């Protein structure tokens, strides 16, 4: 809540900036302030590796949040992401345990998410049922499948997986993991797709006003189904990254992740009504969550639940800001 005046100040000082950029800029300013606080309080915080670690720890979250950005931009919501992430990790772990070829496992695991997303998108579009309910059912379904596969955690010992998990790519004195590069690649592809392709324009148009989009002759149905498929694909990639990170598949992993993802997207300045927002904002939103966690870890005296309270407060501040910007537009 303390961030509201700051955010408003950013809004006034940058009044020449197009209003649709204001939420993203506010997030950026907040991120810089939080990082500055960290650097001024803890000497070790200024180490570049801290930033890299935020990416390493949140790579999977970033990928899933990018998929969610597509869905939210069309005015929908996807609650199934956390379960699909868990399901992907679970399926890869169990198939690897059965001795399947890693390449084949990768393909199968990457197909689950999009298939489920496609199915949910079709139900949402053809039968006109609210995305909230359909993806909620998808969430239950995927989570149920996880436990059905195994009720306990399955470790991954496969050579390809462990080497992907432990590989350190050196950048000067510091390092990142393979997951970070994959996550950044996904971000780049998604940003280009949203900004410069027909699909991207359709997504914004549908989020802005589905009725007008339909009257303009845009393929509303196809785009809607596509965004849920994209979100499913991103969740599947996120699941693979998570299995790299934890080197196991556990049935109860990533429970409640959809909330973190939605929070990151909203903090990143994407409007939940759809039609306005950027992938770059989502990246900033994920980083904000990552910096909060790092700050709490560095402090050491704050308990983990403060993360939730701070995220709630930030959500409040950003939604208020979006609201203020929205009023001015009128």
> At closest approach, how far in Å is the CB of 105 from another protein?
23
- DSSP assigned state of 19: G
Between 75 and 200, CB nearer to another protein: 75
Cα separations (Å) of 323 from 70, 127, 254, 277? 21, 32, 31, 14
Residue 253 makes CB contacts below 8 A (sequence gap 6+) with 85, 86, 89, 242, 246
Span 144-173, contacts to another protein by CB under 8 A: 144-148, 151
Minimum CB–partner distance for residue 101 and another protein (Å): 28
By beta-carbon proximity to another protein, the closer residue of 22 and 164 is 22
Q: Smallest gap, in angstroms, from Cβ of residue 228 to another protein?
A: 15
Report the alpha-carbon distance of residue 284 to residue 177 in Å, rounded. Answer: 20
Structure tokens at 234: 């991103």
Find the shortest distance in angstroms from Cβ 9 to another protein.
20
Residue ranges of alpha helices (H) inside 42-177 are 48-73, 81-97, 102-126, 131-149, 159-166
Cα 297 from Cα 76, distance rounded (Å): 34
Among 9, 36, 140, 216, binds another protein (CB under 8 A): 140
- The mark string for 73-112 relative to another protein (x by CB under 8 A, - otherwise) is ----x-----------------------------------
Beta carbon nearer to another protein, 15 or 127: 127
**Which tokens sit at 67?**
């998929």
State which of positions 277-316 bind another protein (CB under 8 A): 303-309, 311-313, 315-316
Asked if 141 interacts with another protein (CB under 8 A), we say yes
Instruction: Kindly state whether residue 64 participates in binding another protein, applying the rule CB under 8 A.
Output: no
Q: For the window 243-272, what string marks contact with another protein as x by the rule CB under 8 A?
A: --------xx------x--xx--x-----x
Take residue 154 and report the two structure tokens written for it.
Answer: 């399955």
Residue 115 in contact with another protein, rule: CB under 8 A: no
With CA atoms as reference, report the closest residue to 213 among 118, 325, 75: 75
- Chain positions 117 to 136 lying near another protein, rule: CB under 8 A, are 123, 126-130, 132-134, 136
Helix (H, G, I), strand (E, B) or coil at 307: helix
Would you say 5 or 36 has its CB closer to another protein? 5
Task: Count residues binding another protein (CB under 8 A).
Answer: 45
- Calculate helix-pair angle for 257-267, 81-97, nearest 10 degrees: 130
The dihedral built from the CA positions of residue 123, 126, 128 and 131, taken in this order, carries a sign that is positive
Contact 169, 114 (CB under 8 A): no
18 vs 22, 38, 93, 142, 265, CA distance in Å?
7, 30, 47, 41, 20
Distance, in Å, from the CA atom of 275 to the CA atom of 207, rounded to the nearest integer, reads 4
Nearer to another protein, 130 or 197 (CB): 130
Between residues 196 and 316, which has the closer beta carbon with respect to another protein? 316
Q: Which residues bind another protein (CB under 8 A)?
A: 77, 123, 126-130, 132-134, 136-138, 140-141, 143-148, 151, 251-252, 259, 262-263, 266, 272-273, 303-309, 311-313, 315-316, 319-320, 323
């Amino acid at each position: 809540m303390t961030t509201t005046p700051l955010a408003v100040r950013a809004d006034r000082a940058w009044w020449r900036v197009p209003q649709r950029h204001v939420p993203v800029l506010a997030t950026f300013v907040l991120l810089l302030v939080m990082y500055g606080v960290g650097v001024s309080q803890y000497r070790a915080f200024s180490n570049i590796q801290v930033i890299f670690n935020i990416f390493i720890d949140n790579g999977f979250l970033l990928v899933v949040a990018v998929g969610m950005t597509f869905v939210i931009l069309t005015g929908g919501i996807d609650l199934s992401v956390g379960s699909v992430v868990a399901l992907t990790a679970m399926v890869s772990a169990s198939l690897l345990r059965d001795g399947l070829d890693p390449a084949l496992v990768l393909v199968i695991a990457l197909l689950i998410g999009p298939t489920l997303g496609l199915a949910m998108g079709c139900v949402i579009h053809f039968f006109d049922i609210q995305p909230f309910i359909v993806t909620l059912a998808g969430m239950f379904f995927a989570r149920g499948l996880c436990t059905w596969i195994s009720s306990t955690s399955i470790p991954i010992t496969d050579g390809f997986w462990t080497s992907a998990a432990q590989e350190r790519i050196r950048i000067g004195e510091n390092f990142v993991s393979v997951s970070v590069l994959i996550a950044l690649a996904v971000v780049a592809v998604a940003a280009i797709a949203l900004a410069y392709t027909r699909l991207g324009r359709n997504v914004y148009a549908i989020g802005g006003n589905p009725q007008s989009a339909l009257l303009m002759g845009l393929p509303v149905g196809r785009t809607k189904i596509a965004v849920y498929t994209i979100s499913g694909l991103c969740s599947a990639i996120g699941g693979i990254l998570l299995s790299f990170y934890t080197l196991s598949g556990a049935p109860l992993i990533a429970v409640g992740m959809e909330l973190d993802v939605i929070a990151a997207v909203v903090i990143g300045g994407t409007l939940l009504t759809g039609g306005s927002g950027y992938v770059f904002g989502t990246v900033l939103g994920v980083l904000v969550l990552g910096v909060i966690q790092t700050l709490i870890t560095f402090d050491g005296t704050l308990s983990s639940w403060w993360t939730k309270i701070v995220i709630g407060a930030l959500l409040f501040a950003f939604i208020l800001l979006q609201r203020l910007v929205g009023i001015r537009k009128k």
